[in-house]
Chain A
Amino acid sequence: MITKIVSKNFEILNSHTMAVALENGRYASLENLFLQKPREIIDTISQSGLRGKGGGGAHAGSKWQLAADTQGTKYLVVNADESEPGTFKDRQILSKDPHLLIEGIICTCYAIGSHISYIYVRGEYEEFSDILQSAIDEAYEKNIIGSGAQYPLDITVHRGGGAYICGEKSALLESLEGNRGHPRLKPHTPQAESYFGEPALVNNVETIASVPFIVENGAEAYRAYGTEKSPGTLLFALSGHVEKPGVYEAEFGLGMWEYIHTLGGGVKNGKMLKAVIPGGASTPILPAHLVQEAKLDYESLKSLGTELGTGGMILLDEDASMVKALKNLLRFYHHESCGQCTPCREGTSWVDKTLDKFIAKTATTEDLKILKSVSKSMNGKTICVFAPAASGVINGFLKHFENEFLECIQ
């Protein structure tokens, strides 16, 4: 059931070193890369249907095209901020196969015409970004990157300072420019992102790490996995109340329960499943009966009222308190709001505090109304989708588990 494209070398000893990486096929795609024109590479990526793996699922090909078509000095910015609770996949790539990421960066930069790339790594990942940095140093020594490479390219690791919101692409670019990590207002028409006024392409680590396979084997080889609309694989992950937590790469379209059962060994300690948060903390919760129906692709999860997100599933067993779980998540949102928009800054604070009353079982019907109305006010008129995501999380818990909240009302 495991399909290894990105995780192929994860188990190989010392796969993060150049010697072992080369023995195991790293940088093999470059031969094919340089035989083709940048345009052709972008077409291949478009045809492969590769979708962004940072949570949004945007089509990589269209984003690349936009960056390639925009005049100016181009930048590739790799998003390694990975801070969405329940998500720990990019870290595996950074520490177990950093050369795959470097190879993907070379392919992507060549395709869009960029010679400068930054990898923005969350500050807490110091141990893992050190491994990445040594891999980059080795690639410079071998002239795989740098001014003496076939395609001249500089890669710089940029270390974040600890702020969840910097994972949002425009906040990340602000941070990379030397500002506070505040998301920017979105333009009305699709435009390339900008770094100091020049076009920038922002992609997730795993998105870029999926590129070498496609360049080497072609679009159809990638489409052989997954579904029509969600082609390929994802580093899905399991945590929470699960017997064998971890990252297991699989094709899109598998049954969620089958995946949990077969790869994760089922619910921890043989208990019954109550619910799954399907794709990182920002995706609406799915109760057990819907988990049975759910398939691991963008379309199936959307039809069930949630999102695929980052594919990081958090399991909650029959004894888990939904009130406590929601409180945990709202504390997170309250802590991480960047504070620019009033509905988000005030709303996250308010719902966090209101939940305390439910925990203490001193809530009133009025508090439940407040929770619902504040949640509604957070969904709209904010600069980024952080507040709407928090609102979706609240609504998901109330939709499926309102009885547990009612039990906390005096």
Chain B
Amino acid sequence: MSFRFNQENTIKIASLLNRYPQKKALILPLLWLAQKQEGFISDAAMKNISEFLELPLMHVYSVASFYTMFRFAKNEKKVIEVCRTLSCELNGSEDIKKYIQSNYSDRFEIVEVECMGACSGAPMCTLEGKYFENVTPQKIDKVFNDN
């Protein structure tokens, strides 16, 4: 498998190059563009990034794997994240997690995450990165069944 950035991303990358004093700073922006383009970060994409930035492949891999938001395999299912940190737990996130797990685990991949900066809307979850706050089983049914 090979990887090339599409034309739209290639244009974006050209303008990003002017924004940083060293090319190396582009690792995170390029990883994001690659993940957007393919839905995950393939070995070929990392190789492409390492060649473009003239950095060892190991460096790109070590950086990419440090962060929790990069995926290294294609997701067959859409991702639901459920916050489990204190403000959400105090407002019933464990019950929400159980509800989602027992009703939606066949269609979605369910991941527990730490505080998402939405504590006033606890309990909260996301669907494909979009925030849903003050969730209840009813609200979950409504949102997830539309997707």
Interface on A for B, CB 8 Å cutoff? 73, 82-88, 90-91, 122-127, 154, 156, 158-164, 175-181, 195-196, 198, 237-241, 245-247, 277, 281, 312, 314, 316, 320, 324-325, 328-329, 331-332, 335-336
Contact = CB atoms under 8 A, between A and B. Distances in A.
A127 B115 contact: no
Contacts of B70: 161-162
24 contacts: A85-B114, A86-B86, A88-B120, A123-B67, A124-B113, A161-B31, A161-B66, A161-B70, A177-B22, A178-B22, A178-B25, A178-B26, A178-B27, A179-B63, A181-B67, A195-B21, A240-B86, A281-B115, A312-B119, A314-B90, A328-B84, A328-B89, A332-B86, A332-B115
A162 to B, nearest CB: 4
B143 interface: no
Interface of B: 16, 19-22, 24-29, 31-32, 53, 55, 62-64, 66-70, 84-87, 89-91, 113-122, 126, 129-131
A262 to B, nearest CB: 17
A124 B83 CA distance: 12
A333 to B, nearest CB: 10
B67 A161 contact: yes
A314 B86 contact: yes
Given A180-B63, A196-B25, 9 more contacts: A87-B115, A88-B119, A127-B130, A158-B28, A161-B67, A162-B69, A195-B21, A240-B91, A281-B86
B28 A328 contact: no
A332 B90 CA distance: 15
B120 A281 contact: no
A107 to B, nearest CB: 21
A142 B3 CA distance: 38
Contacts of B91: 240-241
B88 to A, nearest CB: 9
B117 A164 contact: no
B68 A161 contact: yes
Nearest to A181: B66
Contacts of B29: 158-159
A66 to B, nearest CB: 20
Contacts of B67: 123, 160-163, 181
Nearest to A177: B25
Contacts of B129: 124, 126-127
B87 A86 contact: yes
Contact of B86 (A85, A160, A164, A247): A85
Contact of A161 (B28, B53, B89): B28
Contact of B28 (A84, A85, A178): A178
Nearest to A317: B90
Contacts of A85: 85-87, 114-115, 119
A157 B87 CA distance: 29
